[in-house]
Amino acid sequence: TGEETFFKIKKTTKMQKVFETYATRKGVQVNSLRFLLDGDRITPDQTPKMLELEDQDQIDCVLEQTGGKGHGQIGAAAQ
């Protein structure tokens, strides 16, 4: 949909927590979403520290569905 969602997380927080929260807010199953940083898929066990995320970095989210894709963005505020 092109909308942005922002999260403030610790650098040691596993991305799974962000993925689950985002999916809940959007009313979709977390396993139907794909999260990308600079085009590379992020795995649930990765952390902002492992990904070298900095304040205001952007993660893309793609909803995989039959007949098309939805697109959103997540802004990261890693502490």
The tokens for 65 are 């569905």
Predicted local distance difference test score (pLDDT) of residue 79: 44
Which one is the CATH code of 4-78: 3.10.20.90, 3.40.50.970, 3.40.50.150, 3.40.50.2020?
3.10.20.90
Q: How buried is residue 65: exposed, middle or buried, by Cβ count under 10 Å (0-12/13-18/19+)? A: exposed
Domain boundaries, the chain: 4-78
Predicted local distance difference test score (pLDDT) of residue 67: 57
Predicted local distance difference test score (pLDDT) of residue 2: 75
State pTM to two decimals: 0.76
pLDDT per residue of the chain (79 residues) written in tens, 0 to 9: 578 899 899 999 999 999 999 999 999 999 999 999 999 999 999 999 999 999 889 999 997 755 555 556 566 554 4
The tokens for 67 are 């007949």
The tokens for 56 are 């205001």
